[in-house]
Amino acid sequence: MQIAVIGLGYVGLVTAACLARLGQTVRGLESDPSKVAALREGRAPFFEPGLQGALLEGSERLTFTTDAAAALDGAELVLICVGTPSRPTGEADLSAVNAVADAVADHIRSATVVALRSTVPVGTTELIEERLNERLRGRGWTEPVPVIANPEFLRTGRALDDFLRPSRVVLGRTELATDAQIQLLEALYRPLDAPIFVLNARSAELVKNAANTYLAMRISFVNELASLCEATGASVTAVLDGIAADPRIGSDYLRPGLGYGGSCLPKDVRSIIAQGEQHGESMPLARAIDEVNLRQAALAAERISAMMDRPLDGTRIALLGLAFKPDTDDIRDSPSITLARALSTRGATVVGCDPEAASGVAEQEPWIELARTPLEAARGADAVVLATEWPAYVTSDFAALAGVMRGDVLFDGRNALDRDRVEAAALRYGSVGSGLANAPRSSSPY
């Protein structure tokens, strides 16, 4: 099949590379010329495990352009993968999706099917379809072009694996879509060997919004529970072991920490709240999920201050990890950076390191002092924080860190460290929700 993939970010480029690897001919359309230049030189423009290799493997069937007419010429299928970030009101900003719909209407020259892979509010697929077809009619086009909702569920950091081995494929049809057009998409995804759900477009859009809100809910739940554990002297780790043993609950997305972040969960929770408002639903649970999450950075800053037994003003805090999670360079809504901001506004100097995200931080958050390694970051620090659980940071040489630090506090912001290893290095260990077990040698409650 001849496929145009529009928007070559974390979703679009992974989709393009994987489809080329599966034997499709893919043209990638991207508005950022620097990304296209990198791709034409054979370089992935961002870090995603396995992406560079997949691009090489699929290179014979994969081309990249900034020219919409060239990308869309002869495309039997168009996959829209552009971003849908939050507006200040919490609503999803659909301007990129609208612009792409217009470009498709202006440049297609033969019958095609459009699939909307971006995460969008309920009702968007139909609106985009209307917009696209109205513009096509203005060009004298008579054959309607359907837009099919086709949300993506991949996780950054595991994107290729998730794309190639998805838990499910969701196709949401509008009234315009014919059985043959749905079958075209089913045929595309059949090699992935995943259950395919064909729903109406609105239900498909809500599957994606609801899944992310539910995952965020588990994280906010466990963070709220962690605060209660601290207040009562319980250990959240022990409580979680007991909860997770219930097969109805399990352990995924139930690790306390700095809160959820990244380019999806925060914006999708805010979007579902805004969608509720628009449709007369007050969404009290979704609001609480967001509210709990927004507290996490301030709570962590207080925990660190309490462990040091002094205000943050004038301290030097080292953050190990700046990306929103390991195995990515994505710093959008990174909890680590939110914590850095909370520490900095309280007067601390923040120094950070990250194996992949440092250049993005230098560009977008230049107020964060950057170090190349954990050891360099820890030098002279009053406290070191594990802020992103990169495997290399989780297994740090804590004795070496202790040797160069000014203080002796190691705060585990991701509840990922081996407490015994940290304490064996004569560092005081603190984490989220470990209650009295965290008590330092002073009388501080942490």
Ligand X SMILES: NC(=O)c1ccc[n+]([C@@H]2O[C@H](COP(=O)([O-])OP(=O)(O)OC[C@H]3O[C@@H](n4cnc5c(N)ncnc54)[C@H](O)[C@@H]3O)[C@@H](O)[C@H]2O)c1
Q: Which residues are catalytic?
A: 264
* N- to C-terminal Cα separation, the chain: 59
Both tokens of residue 279?
A: 């449709």
User: By CB under 6 A, what part of segment 364-403 binds ligand X?
Assistant: none
Contact pick of 3, 4, 5, 11 for ligand X (by CB under 6 A): 11
Residue 128 touching ligand X (CB under 6 A): no
Q: Which residues pair with 409 in a beta bridge?
A: 383, 428
Residue 231 parent element (H or E): helix 201-232
Instruction: Rule CB under 6 A: choose which of 84, 124, 223, 293 binds ligand X.
Output: 84
Following DSSP, what letter does each residue of 37-92 receive, concatenated? HHHHTT--SS--TTHHHHHHHTGGGEEEES-HHHHHTT-SEEEE----PBPTTS-B
* Residue 388 bridge partners (DSSP): none
Q: Is 29 in the site for ligand X (CB under 6 A)?
A: yes
**Pairwise CA distance, residues 100 & 412, whole Å:** 43
Strands (E), 101-151: 113-116, 147-149
Q: Where are the beta strands (DSSP E) in 272-401?
A: 316-320, 349-353, 369-370, 383-386
Strand order in the sheet with 409-412: 369-370, 349-353, 316-320, 383-386, 409-412, 428-431
Residue 119 contacts ligand X per CB under 6 A: yes
Task: Could you list the beta-strand ranges (E) of 356-417.
Answer: 369-370, 383-386, 409-412
- What is the DSSP code (8-state) at residue 142? -
Does 7 bind ligand X (CB under 6 A)? Our answer is yes
100 contributes a contact to ligand X by CB under 6 A = yes
- Binder among 96, 207, 283, 323 for ligand X (CB under 6 A): 96
Strands 383-386 and 369-370: unpaired
Neighbours of 103 (CB within 10 A): 21
Contact call for residue 156 and ligand X (CB under 6 A): yes
Q: Which is nearer to ligand X, 253 or 445 (CB)?
A: 253
Q: From the list 21, 78, 83, 169, which residue makes contact with ligand X (rule: CB under 6 A)?
A: 83
Asked if 261 is part of the footprint of ligand X (rule: CB under 6 A), the reply reads no
CB closer to ligand X out of 324 and 429: 324
Spacing of C-alpha 198 from chain mean position:
25
- Among 94-102, 139-147, 302-310, 319-327, which window interacts with ligand X (CB under 6 A)? 94-102
Task: Kindly tell me which of 324 and 446 has the beta carbon lying closer to ligand X.
Answer: 324
Per CB under 6 A, does 8 bind ligand X? yes
304 vs 428: CA distance, rounded Å: 11
Closer by beta carbon to ligand X, 63 or else 235:
63
User: Applying CB under 6 A, what is the total number of residues that bind ligand X?
Assistant: 27
In angstroms, give the least distance from the CB of 100 to ligand X. 5
Q: Within 10 A of 250 (CB to CB), how many other CB atoms are there?
A: 12
Check binding of 31 to ligand X (CB under 6 A). yes
| Residue with token string 């396995």 | 50
**How near is the Cβ of 77 to ligand X at its closest, in Å?**
16
Residue nearest to ligand X (CB): 9
- Does 67 help bind ligand X (rule: CB under 6 A)? no
Can residue 9 be called a binding residue for ligand X (CB under 6 A)? yes
Closest approach, Cβ 187 to ligand X, in A, equals 22
15 binds ligand X per the rule CB under 6 A: no
| Residue matched to tokens 């989220």 | 432
Which residue bears the tokens 């805004």?
274
Q: Does 172 bind ligand X (CB under 6 A)?
A: no
Residue whose CB is less far from ligand X, 118 or 396: 118
Among 1, 38, 99, 210, the residue binding ligand X under the rule CB under 6 A is: 99
Task: Build a one-symbol-per-residue string for 262-281: x at contacts with ligand X by CB under 6 A, - elsewhere.
Answer: -xx-----------------
The yes or no reply on residue 63 touching ligand X (CB under 6 A) is no
Which residues contact ligand X (rule: CB under 6 A)? 6-12, 29-32, 35, 81-84, 96, 99-100, 118-119, 152, 154-156, 263-264
